[in-house]
Amino acid sequence: MTVSRIGDHPVTRVKRAISPSRAADYMQCPLLYRFRVIDRLPEPPSAAAARGTLVHAVLERLFDVEAADRTLEHAHSLLAPQWEALVESEPELASLVDGELGDWLRPARTLVAKWFALEDPTRLEPAERELYVEAEVDGLTLRGYVDRLDVAPTGEMRVVDYKTGRSPSALFEAKALFQMKFYALVLWRTRGEIPRLLQLVYLGNGEIVRYSPDERELLATERKIKALWDAIARSASTGDWRPSRSRLCSWCSHQALCPQFGGTVPPLPALAAERAVDPAYAGEPEVGQD
């Protein structure tokens, strides 16, 4: 068996793999999937995404200390050093800070404070943080990172995901729940038990969305993921990566190349079909997904 690495995690080298991020890209817009997986176009750093990654890092590191020390003051003290660590790993993020660092960090301080109003870290002992999960379903490997996994003394699992935006309308809630059901499916396949609760913590407006999955829903999620992979494989073989316009286009970095906005799609690169299903990209999970 050969092994590669994703971040600090050794993973089995596989022929087919998909992550919830790339699955969501294809569901949102096949052309977006192409730009990220095949063309591998760079995207400018986003202040909102960078702050989201920063807040995720702070909430992860907060549990490194004893329960009594998990105060808001301590969490706020982690912001600057965690930001420095992020900039060290991704130097382009430094360009986002225009002025004093403290001013730039202020929105992140607010988000962290909102989390303290929703959950009490002195009463939490996560079983796992930024947990890498992987499972194979009919030859397709599912990969992802779980922000936090809580396990009760009786064994029930709660999957927790932090979102630094606002809770979505009903129109976009299904996308967030798909990601959580993806994680629940992988945990079920690897641990033999369905998580009791999926919990989305929205820091933008201070709301928690909770959902209890069942076997029927997770089997439906499994079928959906396999169907998505089949659709990606068809697009790879035909070269058909047509755009799908939606309100999410407002946040897309590639409008200049999209025919929906008067742009011209560049020619497919060499080995496009192989790149489209390359597990290193199609199965690339993202830490601190917002």
Whether 133 is in a domain gets the answer yes
Paired tokens of 215 = 């076997």
Range of the domain at 103: 47-123
Task: Kindly state whether residues 165 and 176 are assigned to the same domain.
Answer: yes
289 pLDDT higher than 70:
no
Is the separation of the CB atoms in 287 and 130 below 8 Å? yes
Task: Kindly state whether residues 90 and 157 are assigned to the same domain.
Answer: no
Average pLDDT score, the chain: 92
Whether 96 is in a domain gets the answer yes
Residue 274, SS3 per DSSP = helix
| Helix (H), strand (E) at residue 162 | strand 157-163
Write down the pLDDT at residue 175: 78
The values of phi and psi at residue 148, to 5°, are: -150, 135
Write down the pLDDT at residue 7: 54
Count of domains forming the chain = 2
| Helix (H), strand (E) at residue 280 | helix 279-282
Q: Output the CA–CA distances (angstroms, integers) from residue 91 to 6, 45, 63, 265, in the order listed.
A: 20, 10, 26, 29
Task: Kindly state whether residues 138 and 105 are assigned to the same domain.
Answer: no
Task: Kindly state whether residues 191 and 136 are assigned to the same domain.
Answer: yes
Whether 254 is in a domain gets the answer no
pLDDT band for position 3 (cuts 50, 70, 90): very low
Paired tokens of 219 = 């089997």
pLDDT band for position 285 (cuts 50, 70, 90): confident
| Gap between the Cα atoms of 166 and 207, Å rounded | 8
Whether 19 is in a domain gets the answer no
Write down the pLDDT at residue 171: 64
Task: Kindly state whether residues 177 and 217 are assigned to the same domain.
Answer: yes
pLDDT digits (tens, 9 = 90+) for 67-85: 999 999 999 999 999 999 9
pLDDT band for position 261 (cuts 50, 70, 90): very high
CATH number for the domain that contains residue 160: 3.90.320.10
Task: Kindly state whether residues 72 and 166 are assigned to the same domain.
Answer: no
6 pLDDT higher than 70:
no
148 pLDDT higher than 80:
yes
Mean pLDDT in residue range 44-54: 94
Task: Kindly state whether residues 166 and 216 are assigned to the same domain.
Answer: yes
Write down the pLDDT at residue 1: 34
Q: Which residues touch 118 (CB under 8 Å, ≥6 apart)?
A: 201, 203, 206, 208
